[in-house]
Every structure is written in C-alpha cells, then in structure tokens.
Structure 1
Amino acid sequence: MSRLRVLVFMGGYSTEHDVSVTSGTGVIRAMDAEKYNIHPVLIQKDGTWIWSSRELSPYQKNNFSENYFYALEGPSACSEKNPPLSALPSADIAFLALHGKWGEDGHVQAMLENWGIPYTGCGLLASALAMDKVLCKAAYLSAGIATPPYQVLYRDDFKGDDLVAAADKLGFPLVIKDPVGGSSIGMGIAKNMDEAGEIVNRLFKNSARLLCEKFIRGGEASCGYMEGLEKPLPPTEMRMTTREYFDYEAKYNGECREVTPAEFPQELTERIQQLSKKAHLAIGGAGYSRTDVRIDADGKLWALETNTLPGMTPTSILPAEAAAIGISYSELIDRIIETSLKIKR
C-alpha cells in the first residue's frame, strides 16, 4: 500500500504561533512513517513559508522540532514569502495544526480548496463563523443553544454611554473580549466600571469590535466532538487554581487543572456531550471540533465558543479526551485524516 503524502502546516501569523508549532511537532512525531510521507511546512509570522522538497526521514520524524526548518540546506530547502500552494510538494491531504487568525478562520481552508488539496477539520465557512464569536453566538441561538447574553461595541462610533449601557444590561463581573481572538488572548473580566474602561481602551487599540458578555458564575468544561466515533468523547472539567477564568496562562502555564474525564454526574456529562455535537452541527462543522461551556449553579449549560482546530499537542484537551476512551494520540491522528478525506467540501 502506498503511503499518503501529508503536508503538516504549523506556525501562522497569529498570537498562537508558538502553540501551533507545538501542536505540529506533536502530530509529526506521532504519525506512522509506514503510513505517511510527511512534509512539514512552517509559516512564520512575517509571511515566510519554510519547507523541504524531501520527505522527513524516520529519524527526522521521531526527533522533529522547529529546529528542523532552520537546519534545512541544499537544493531541497525552500523558503518563500506567501508562496502559491503549487510550490509545495504534491500531497493527498494537508494536516492543519494551525490555530487562531488566518489559520483557523477560513483563510488557509479557502487556499487549499482553491488548489484542490483536501485538509483536516472544518470547512472555510464553518471556520470563519466559529472564529467570530459574535456570529457564532447568532448560530448558537438560531439552533436553540444557550449562550451568555452579550452586547457588541464598535470602535468607530464608541461612546462611554455604550459601555455603561452594556454594564447595566449584563452586570459585573463583565467579560470583554476581542471577538476574533484565540486562546483567550485579548480579553479581560471587569469587576467595575473603571476596570471595564481600561480593558475597552486597551482592546480597541487592536480590534474594531468588542464583545461584552455576561459572566456566568459556576464551573467550566470543554468537550470535543468527532464524527464517526461509536461513542462520544468525554468532557474535560477546568479547575482553576490561581486564575478566575480559562485564559492563555491557565491553558499553557499550568494555572488550571484539566480533569479528563470530568468527574460530573452522568446526566451532566451526557448533556455536555449533546451540546458539543449540537454546536458542531450549528456552525456547519466537519470532522471534529471542541466546544467550551460554562455550567451555572442550576446546572444550565452556556456555550462560549467552538474551536474548529482545537489544540493538538500531546497534552491538549482533545487528545486527552480521546485517550480516555482508548484512542491513542497516533490513532487519533489516523482517524482525523481518514475522516477528513471522506468530507465533501
């Protein structure tokens, strides 16, 4: 049997560049060299793409790191700013280990579709919809999915009264975020009007719109959904240690304990699983996704956002949930590729 030719994209232009490289590194090391002909592609923040025309050797695969790209030399080494996809090695599929803006918002997906290259994960429309938390909320509500009440602020016509009105409607603590930010970067929780004003002024420097959202007191969980599995993935409970919410530091600096599978009552577990599937379908998802939820004191679930390219580091939530039902990291990658090759774009 011939091996599948796989381009593994990592890096990207967003603030999640480093996390993406970690995801890509984990994916490559876990891929079966007997099944796949692997070509890593690093997208640097300045728009330069780095790759090799040669596939990874077994040694390079097993010991892969970002240093691989900077050690490339000779005629097989390629580096080009914003290259056409025709410049890359031909491939049967692209594995997207990208996160955040440009990588997870439909841009790369549109490029790949234009060049006729299958890719992992959700399509361009679902990716764009889920990346914009305002539009994603509209999709949730149209599907009957509860999401925290919200208001949108616009930089071009912003007045202080707009923030006062949002605070009056939603109350404090008030969640304020860039609606197209990733990894909980570009957000804050204001306990009073002074803090809200500081957060808004800071975020408006880089964002034309801001999402103000009611803070739902209670617990937090995340649950992946994968098409084609015999049983759903179990949810993960986020137990905060030193932080109030699941932000970038909590995710990547060990300031949150992720409990997988979550130690919830069976009834709550099943409702979270059903919500993750319903959210996936509401945005028109394909392949797999992961939805974050809040659980209030009455046990009501509130959908926060759906990630169309959830983290794929060996310790990320989706791989941990797959492991909890007996799917190894390597097998998870196989399943993602197999499922994605069947998707009709």
Structure 2
Amino acid sequence: MTKLNIGLLYGGKSTEHEVSMRSAESILTVLDKDKYDITLIHISKEGKWLHAPGNERIADLSVDETANKLTVRPSGQLAGLPADVKLDVILPVLHGTFGEDGTVQGLLEIAEIPYVGCNIRSSAVCMDKDMTKRLLKLEGIGVAEGILFKHHEKDDVDFAEVKQKLGLPMFVKPVNQGSSVGVSKVTDEDSFSEALALAFKYDTKVIVESALEGREVEVSVLGNSNPFVSVPGEIIPDDGFYSYESKYTDENGAALEIPAKVDEETVKNLQDVALKTFETLDCEGMARVDMFLCVDGSIYVNEVNTFPGFTSISMYPKLLEVSGVGYRELVDRLITLAVERHELEAGLTTDFT
C-alpha cells in the first residue's frame, strides 16, 4: 500500500497558537504510520514556516536553529522541504486568524496541495461573526440581536443607546477571533467600556450582542456533499460563561454533557439547524456549530468553527466519538474528504476559448 504524505501544519500567527499545538499533539498520536508518512511544519508566532527532520513530537521550531525555513510556491509544493518529500495532503491544525480564516487555505490553493477542512470562502465567512450572522438571517436561522462597531467608531459608542437596544447583560466580541479570546460579559457601563477596549485590542471590528437565556449546545458536522451530523452536546460553564480558560486550561471550568439531555424531537431540531447552517455557509470537511437552546424550544446559532479544537477535552471529536466515529477514524475521514474535494475541483476547466 502506498502511503500518503501528510503535512501536519500547526502553531500559527494567532492568539490560539498554543491551542493549535495541543490539537496537533493529539492528532499526531492517532495518525497511523502504517498508512501515512508525516511531515511536521511549525508556523511561528511571527509567521515563519519551519520544518525539522523527524515526526515524533510537536515542537516549537522557532527556537531550533537547524529547522529549515519554508516558502509556498505557486503550483510547486513547499520550497525548503527535502527533495524526496511531496505532500499529498496538508492538515492545517490552525485555530483563529491566519489559519482558520481562509488565509492559509488560499496559500494551499495556490500551491495546489489538498488540505483538510473548509475552503477559502467558507473559512473566511465563518471566521467573521458579523458576516456569518447576516447570511444565517437570510436563511431564517435564528441569531442573537447585535450591533457592529468599526475601529473608527470606537470613541463614539453610546452605552445608553446600546443598552436600550440590547438590554443587559450583553456580550462584547472581536468579530474575527475564536476560543472566546477578547470576549467579555457586560453587566454595567464600566464593564462595557473595559470590554470594548479589550475587544478592539484583537480586531478592528467588534460586535455587541444581546445575551440569550438558554442552554449552550454544540453539534459536530463531518462531510462534503452528504454530511454526517453528530448528537448534540451541552456545555455547562462553572461561571456562566464558556471562557478561554474553561475550554483549554481549566479541566473543571465546564461540565460537558454528551449527549445533551434533550428529547428526540429537540435532538432532530438541533441537528437540522446545524446541518442547514453548515450548508448555508458552504462548509466542507468539518465544522462545529455552536447554538443556544431556549426554554421555548427556539434555537439560535452563536458561531461556527471551521477548524474546532482537537485537544483531549475538545467537543468536536468527543461529539463524533459518542456518535460512532472514533478519533482515529475521524482523522482518516477528514484526509479522505480533502483528497476527494481536491480531485473534484482539479477536474474543473480553467480555460475558456
């Protein structure tokens, strides 16, 4: 059997650099070395692409003076890799900006290397909370009421006006960030000013949203043209807010109920909304759809993650495992989906004469 050479891309110029490295460590442990040759590529916090020989552990190669610097070439793989290394698929284990937002996907399209996950378009749209919600609204999918502010407007934001429209509490979020980075729960004017300043540290666009009274439920979606939808899982944060610490560093920061304790009709409704969201945003390969389930049964989409966390306590693989897709099988299927999409798109004509 001919092995596929898998490029495991991790790190990134992002606030989620460390989370990416944890995810990559988990994936590396399940990649079947009888099926795959593995090439490890580290993107430093400064944005340098680095490769060092060996595939046994995820490391910060920015401190390794022997690591080869890599560059992306149009239709030419990655310059700087050994001559005998040809990457068949790249697994971009990158979260947040400069990785999950379509930027790396664009580079890999130029290099003509198949990659796991959503395409450029859906990656970019799903990273932008404002654009995501505009599109979902057009399809009649529920989202929280929100107000968008751009950088040049930050000194003119009127708390009283925002409070009148959205009520209290409310959430202030950078538009293009993940993992709750820069997100704050606001209960008064002082905390609003602090939250706005924090959010604008991470992005030039900030969205302020009304708080929804409901249960936090997530659903994993896997596939291209015929996606598989997992059972829903519920997150019960210890402090009422699923923060960065709750997700990645505090094992007691939130309780995970998988599957969520809801009736069969609600399970189907949540799965239907997740699938419709996935298809509306033109997702492929994978995505995790985060929702609020309200007391009256109404469902609101909070956000869509096109490369959700793959750490040992991450919801995306946990939900699929309970749904019958184990971790190793999940990674195998994602690689297969990447190859299938690339072959389909490679068959399209680019000549019009």
1:224-243 paired onto structure 2 within 5 Å: 224-227=220-223, 232-241=229-238, 243=239
- Say whether residues 1:66 and 2:59 are aligned partners: yes
Read off the aligned partner of 1:169 and give its amino acid letter: K
State whether residues 26 and 312 of structure 1, in contact with CA within 8 Å, keep that contact through their aligned partners in structure 2: yes
Aligned residue for 2:172, secondary structure, equals strand
- The residue that corresponds to 1:80 in the other structure is 69
Instruction: Tell me the secondary structure at the aligned position of residue 164 of structure 2.
Output: helix
**Equivalents in 2 of 1:231, 1:70: separation in Å?**
38
> 1:195 & 1:231 partners in 2: Cα distance?
41
Residue pair 2:151, 2:200 contacting (<8 A) in 1 also: yes
Q: What's the CA shift for 1:162?
A: 3.6
Name which of structure 1's ranges 231-240 and 166-175 shifts more when overlaid on structure 2. Answer: 231-240
Q: Tell me if structure 2 keeps the 8 A contact 1:47–1:81.
A: no
Structure 1 counterpart of 2:291: 293
How much does 1:139 deviate?
A: 1.2
Q: TM-score, normalised by structure 1?
A: 0.91
- Alpha-carbon RMSD across the aligned residues, in angstroms, is 2.0
CA deviation string 1:92-147 (max 9, x = no partner): 11011110001100010000000100000000010000000000101111121100
CA 163–81 in structure 1, closer or farther in 2 if over 3 Å, else same: farther
Give the stretch that moved more between structures: 329-338 or 230-239.
Answer: 230-239
State the Cα distance separating 1:33 from its structure 2 match.
0.4
| Per-residue deviation, 1:159 | 4.5
Task: Provide the secondary structure at the position in 2 that maps to 1:219.
Answer: strand
Which amino acid in structure 2 is aligned with residue 47 of structure 1? Answer: G
Match of 2:96 among 90, 94, 100: 100
1:47–1:82 Cα contact (<8 Å) kept: no
* 2:230 aligned partner, one-letter code: L
Q: Distance in 2 between matches of 1:70 and 1:111?
A: 21
What are the residue-to-residue correspondences of 1:18-37 with 2, within 5 Å?
18-37=18-37
Alignment of 1:138-153 (within 5 A): 138-153=134-149
Structure 2 SS opposite 1:157: helix
**1:263 lines up with 2:261 in the alignment:** yes
Unmatched tracts of structure 2, length 5 or more? 346-353
8 Å contact from structure 1 (residues 130, 136) kept in 2: yes
Deviation of the 1:72 alpha carbon: 6.7
Deviation (angstroms), 1:81: 7.0
Structure 2 residue aligned with 1:284: 282
SS of residue matched to 1:246: coil
Paired AA for residue 15 in structure 1: T
Within the candidate set 161, 171, 179, 1:175 is matched to 171
Cα distance in 2 for residues equivalent to 1:201 and 1:313:
30
Residue aligning to 2:321: 323
- The question of 1:38 aligning with 2:56 is answered no
The superposition leaves residues 231-250 of structure 1 with CA deviations (integer Å, 9 ceiling, x where unpaired) of 53111100122x22112011
Q: Which one of the candidate residues 218, 222, 241 is aligned to 2:218?
A: 222
Aligned partners of 1:127 and 1:308 also within 8 Å = yes
Report if the CA contact (8 A) 2:220-2:316 is conserved.
Answer: yes
Which region of structure 1 is more displaced relative to structure 2, 255-264 or 95-104?
255-264
Task: Give the CA deviation at 1:163.
Answer: 3.5
Alignment size in residue pairs: 333
> How many Å separate the matches in 2 of 1:127 and 1:205?
22
Residue number in structure 2 paired with 1:17: 17
Q: Is the 8 A contact 1:98 1:309 kept in 2?
A: yes
What is the identity, as a one-letter code, of the residue corresponding to 2:150?
Y
- Give ranges in structure 1 of 5+ residues lacking alignment: none
The 2-side partners of 1:71 and 1:33 are apart by 27
Which of 306, 309, 314 in structure 2 is aligned with 1:308? Answer: 306
Identity %: 29
TM-score in terms of structure 2 length = 0.89
CA contact (8 A) 1:171 1:214 kept: yes
